[in-house]
Structure 1
Amino acid sequence: MKQKIIEKIKKYHTIIIHRHVRPDPDAVGSQSGLKELIISNFPEKRVLLAGDDDSEFTYLAGMDKIKDDDYKGALVIVCDTANLPRVDDQRYELGEFLIKIDHHPEVDVYGDLSWVDITASSTSEMICELYGVWQEDGAVLSDEASRLLYAGIVGDTGRFRHPNTTKRTFYWAGKLIEGDFSRPELYNAMYEKNIDLVRMEGYVLSQVELKPSGAAFIKLPAEILKEYKVDAGMTASIVNSFSTLKDVKAWVFFVEEEEEIRVRLRSKGPVINDLAARYNGGGHPMASGATVYSWEEAERLLEELDQICTESE
C-alpha cells in the first residue's frame, strides 16, 4: 500500500492534503510533514494544505487558500481522519483520486486507496513509514519535515507516555531528531500557556467533579470562558489536567461554543471512542472528541461515561 501511495504521488502535479477539523499536533504535523516530504523530493509539484487556519498551530504550518478549480485533476490525501464528516473542508470529493492515511480505528471506509494502521502511534509515524519505503528510491527527509513529524508523534503519544508508544515509535523519533531543528523551541511552542489559560486551568482543577465510578467531568459554559478570556479551542491544551488525579478512570470536558458544546474525552483505561462516535465524534480508544447540542445531551453523554467506568471495575 505504501508503494502504491508513492506511485500516485509521483503521478500527480497538484496534490491537496486534508486533515480533521479541530486539529491536534498529529493532524497538522502529518498533513504538513507529508507536504514537506513531497516538495523536498519533487520541488516542481504543487502541494496545498486544506482546512481552516488554527491559531494554536501556527508554529507548525499555515493552511493554503484553495479554489475549487485547484481540485481539477488533483490527487487528494486525507490524513488522520476516521470519518468523513470530520474532514476539514468537504471539497475533498472534488479531486480526481482520493487517498486515506489514518491510524484511528476505521469508522468510514473511503478513498480510492486506503491505508489504515491502528498499531501506529500516530499518522505522523505512518508518514515516517512511508518515507522509509520511499528512501529506497533515493527520497530525502528535510529538517522541516522532521520537525513537523516529530511534533505529531510527540503530540499523539503524550510525550511518549501513552501506551500507543512502541519500539517503532522510538525508532522513528530517533531518526527524526537527526534533523536540524530545536527540540526545546518546539516543546515550548507545544506546551507553553499564557496567563489567562493558566488561570483557566486553575479554575478547572478547583471545579472538577469526580463520580464514584471514576468518571470525572468539568462544564465550561460560555460565560466562564469569557470571564477567563479563553476560547474553546484553547482548552485543548489543558484537557489532560486530570491525568494525575487519583481514582479517575476517564474524564470529559464540556466546552460551550456558539451553537454547540465541544466534548473532549480522555481515559486511563476504559474505551471511549465508541461513546464519542455516538455523539457526532470519534477518535482513539483513550482520547476522543465529540459534539453535543444542549446541556441535557451533555448529561446523557456523562451518564454513559459513568456507566462505562462502572463496568470497567
Structure 2
Amino acid sequence: MKRQIIDTIKQYDTIIIHRHVRPDPDAYGSQMGLQAILQATYPEKKVFTTGEHEESLSFLGEPQVVADKEFENALVIVTDTANTERVDDQRYNQGKFLIKIDHHPNDDAYGDMLWVNTNASSCSEMIYDLFTEGRKVADWKMDSKAARFLFAGIVGDTGRFIYPSTTETTFNTVGELIKYNFDRTELFDGMYELSRELLHMQGYIFQNFVMDDNGAAYIKLTIEVLEQFSVSASDTSLLVGSLGNVKGIKAWVIFVEEADQIRVRLRSKGPIINTLAKQYNGGGHPMASGATIYKWEESEEVISKLKELCAKY
C-alpha cells in the first residue's frame, strides 16, 4: 500500500492534506510533516495543509487557507482521522482522488485508497514509515522541519513514550528523527509548559475529581468553572492526562462544557473505552477517546457505564 500511495503522489501537481478537528500534536505532526517531506522532495508541486488552526499548537505551525479552486484535480490526503465526520474542512471529498492514512480502528473505511495501521503508535510514525519507503523508491527527502513535526506527533501520541502503544519501532523511528537538527528542548517547552491559569485549573481538577472504589474517576468542568480560571475549553486538552498519576485509577472522564455541547474526554490505564465513546458521537483509541454529549443528564450515563467497565476489569 505504501508503494501505491507514493506512486499516486507522483501523479498529482496539487496535494491538499487534511486532519481531524480539535487537532493534537499528532494531527499537526502527521499533516505538516507529510507536507514538509513532499515540499522538500517535489518543490514543483503545490502542497497545502488545511483546517481550523488550534492556537495552543502555534509553536508547531499553522495550516493554510486553501481556495476552493485548488481542489479541482487535486490529490487529497487525510491523516490521523478515523471517520469522515471528524475531518477538519469538509471539502476533503472535493478533490479528484482521496487517500486515508490513519492508525485508529478502521470503523469508517473512506477514501479511494487507504492505509490503516492500528499497531502504529501515531500517524506521525506511519508518515516516517512512508518516508523510508519513498526514500528507497522515489528519492524522497527529509529535512529538519519535517523531522520536528513527526517527532512532536510521536511524542504527543505516546505521552512521552509511556503509553502501551510505544514499541521498538517507535524508539527506532525517533532515534532516526533526532539525527536532524531541531531544538528538542524548545519543542518540549511548547508541548508541556502550562500557563498559570492552566496550573490553577489543574489544581482544581486534583481537588475536585471523584473516584469510586473500582478506579473509575470523573470531573465536570462547567462554563462557569472555565470562566473562573480564565481557561478555554480547548486549553483543557493539555490537562486530560493529569489524573493518570492518581494511584488506583483505572479510567477517567473529563467533561468540558461549551456553548452548544459538552466535550467528553476519556482516558484509560486498562479498560477499553473507545466502545463507550462510540455510543456518544465519538471514538478513538482503546485507551484514549473522545465523545460529545449535549446535556448534563447524559454525563451521568457516561459515568455509570465507565464505572461498569472499571468494575469488570
TM-score by length of 1: 0.99
* 1:243 alignment partner, SS class: helix
> Per-residue CA shift, 1:248-299, capped at 9, x if unaligned?
1000000000100011100000001111111111111100111000000111
Distance (whole Å) between structure 1 residues aligned to residue 276 and residue 84 of structure 2: 18
Please name the residue that 2:122 is paired with.
122
Counterpart of 1:204, as a letter, is I
Please name the residue that 2:271 is paired with.
270
Distance (whole Å) between structure 2 residues aligned to residue 15 and residue 211 of structure 1: 50
> Per-residue CA shift, 1:65-121, capped at 9, x if unaligned?
112211110000000011110111111010100000000111101111000000100
Structure 1 residue 59 displacement after superposition: 1.1
* 2:15 alignment partner, SS class: strand
Please name the residue that 2:187 is paired with.
186
Q: Which has the higher mean CA deviation after the structures are superposed, 295-304 or 217-226?
A: 295-304
Please name the residue that 2:298 is paired with.
297
Distance (whole Å) between structure 2 residues aligned to residue 70 and residue 309 of structure 1: 49
Counterpart of 1:115, as a letter, is W
Q: CA RMSD in A?
A: 0.7
Distance (whole Å) between structure 2 residues aligned to residue 16 and residue 121 of structure 1: 24
Runs of 4+ in 1 over 4 A off after TM superposition: none
Distance (whole Å) between structure 2 residues aligned to residue 49 and residue 281 of structure 1: 24
Please name the residue that 2:280 is paired with.
279
Structure 1 residue 213 displacement after superposition: 2.1
Distance (whole Å) between structure 1 residues aligned to residue 122 and residue 8 of structure 2: 22
Distance (whole Å) between structure 2 residues aligned to residue 284 and residue 47 of structure 1: 29
Distance (whole Å) between structure 1 residues aligned to residue 214 and residue 92 of structure 2: 42
Structure 1 residue 133 displacement after superposition: 0.4
Counterpart of 1:150, as a letter, is F
Please name the residue that 2:168 is paired with.
167
> Per-residue CA shift, 1:139-186, capped at 9, x if unaligned?
221100000000000000010111101010001100000110010000
The number of residues matched between the two structures is 312
Distance (whole Å) between structure 2 residues aligned to residue 151 and residue 174 of structure 1: 13
Please name the residue that 1:79 is paired with.
79
Please name the residue that 1:98 is paired with.
98
Please name the residue that 2:178 is paired with.
177
Q: Does 1:151 align with 2:152?
A: yes
**Equivalent residue runs for 1:1-313 within 5 Å:** 1-136=1-136, 137-312=138-313
Distance (whole Å) between structure 2 residues aligned to residue 267 and residue 251 of structure 1: 6
* 1:165 alignment partner, SS class: coil
Distance (whole Å) between structure 1 residues aligned to residue 100 and residue 111 of structure 2: 6
Counterpart of 1:153, as a letter, is I
Counterpart of 2:230, as a letter, is K
Counterpart of 2:73, as a letter, is G
Q: What are the ranges of 5 or more consecutive residues in structure 2 without an aligned counterpart?
A: none
* 2:218 alignment partner, SS class: strand
Give aligned-pair identity as a percent. 52
Structure 1 residue 37 displacement after superposition: 0.5
Structure 1 residue 53 displacement after superposition: 0.6
Distance (whole Å) between structure 1 residues aligned to residue 281 and residue 50 of structure 2: 22
Distance (whole Å) between structure 2 residues aligned to residue 193 and residue 12 of structure 1: 42
> Per-residue CA shift, 1:197-239, capped at 9, x if unaligned?
0000000100010012211000000000001000000101111
* 2:245 alignment partner, SS class: coil
* 2:264 alignment partner, SS class: strand
Distance (whole Å) between structure 2 residues aligned to residue 132 and residue 77 of structure 1: 18
Distance (whole Å) between structure 1 residues aligned to residue 302 and residue 271 of structure 2: 15
Distance (whole Å) between structure 1 residues aligned to residue 22 and residue 312 of structure 2: 30
Q: What are the ranges of 5 or more consecutive residues in structure 1 without an aligned counterpart?
A: none
* 1:141 alignment partner, SS class: coil
Q: Which has the higher mean CA deviation after the structures are superposed, 121-130 or 5-14?
A: 5-14
Distance (whole Å) between structure 1 residues aligned to residue 24 and residue 275 of structure 2: 20
Distance (whole Å) between structure 2 residues aligned to residue 287 and residue 152 of structure 1: 15
